[in-house]
């Protein structure tokens, strides 16, 4: 299992802290064998739980200029027509994916293209399913222009647990479909805004896999 670069330092520090903690328990507190074993088992479980937050599996991406791929692992929680105010200022199809703490937290480009617009917004940390999380929470907004001139907006949104959004692109960056462009520590939500003539291929509750699940097909 590959570990994402965002987790390597944290996992190293956590490993040393847990080893030190159990050393103190074993030699400083003189516990019973049962208590020591319980402490070690609890430490291993906790470490593995944090470790899975930062897993980064290798995936095979089938590039298709007509397809919009899921930017994240998770579950579709919103499919609706809405007015997108920040960039387009018009009606769009919004598809939102909720990333739970157990999902892979890598964010991937839904299509190939050039980053036409990118902006980071500091904000609040409402739960990801709150109606105002898309506009009030810490977030990034990225608009990708495809090779055929179609614009798709993708928004990373922090939640109650996710307090750090990372991104690896800037305006003018060129990115391939399915390639990593960001990471949200401990999960949250990703919104995708599509043209109204796109055909949605998922439904509310669909489980998505970043860079593999096809959310929609462009006209």
134 given a catalytic annotation = no
Please state which of the ranges 48-52, 80-84, 127-131, 192-196 shows the lowest mean pLDDT: 127-131
Burial (CB count within 10 angstroms: exposed 0-12, middle 13-18, buried 19+), residue 158: buried
**Span 82-109, pLDDT tens digits:** 999 999 999 999 999 999 888 888 999 9
pLDDT-derived band at 57, boundaries 50, 70, 90: confident
pLDDT-derived band at 128, boundaries 50, 70, 90: low
Please state which of the ranges 78-82, 97-101, 149-153 shows the lowest mean pLDDT: 97-101
Using alpha carbons, select from 130, 141, 134 the residue that is nearest to residue 107: 141
Region at 142 (left for phi over 0; alpha for psi -120 to 50; beta for the rest): beta
Partners of 146 in beta bridges: none
Q: In the prediction, which pLDDT does 20 show?
A: 93
From the candidates 39, 112, 134, 188, give the one annotated as an active-site residue.
188
CB 54 within 8 A of CB 3: yes
């Amino acid at each position: 299992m590959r570990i994402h670069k965002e987790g390597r330092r944290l996992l190293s520090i956590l490993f040393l802290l847990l080893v030190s903690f159990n050393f103190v328990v074993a030699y400083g507190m003189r516990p019973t064998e049962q208590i020591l074993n319980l402490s070690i088992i609890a430490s291993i479980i906790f470490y593995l739980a944090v470790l899975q937050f930062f897993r980064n599996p290798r995936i095979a991406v089938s590039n298709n200029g007509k397809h919009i791929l899921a930017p994240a692992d998770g579950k579709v929680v919103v499919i609706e027509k809405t007015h997108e105010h920040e960039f387009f200022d018009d009606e769009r199809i919004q598809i939102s994916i909720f990333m739970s703490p157990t999902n892979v937290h890598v964010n991937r480009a839904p299509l190939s293209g050039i980053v036409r617009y990118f902006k980071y917004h500091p904000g609040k940390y409402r739960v990801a399913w709150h109606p105002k999380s898309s506009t009030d929470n810490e977030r990034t907004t990225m608009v990708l222009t495809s090779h055929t001139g179609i614009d798709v907006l993708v928004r990373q949104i922090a939640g109650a647990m996710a307090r750090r959004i990372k991104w690896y692109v800037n305006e003018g960056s060129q990115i391939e479909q399915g390639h990593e462009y960001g990471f949200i520590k401990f999960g949250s939500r990703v919104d995708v805004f599509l043209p109204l003539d796109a055909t949605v291929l998922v439904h509310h509750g669909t489980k998505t896999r970043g860079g593999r699940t096809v959310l929609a097909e462009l006209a």
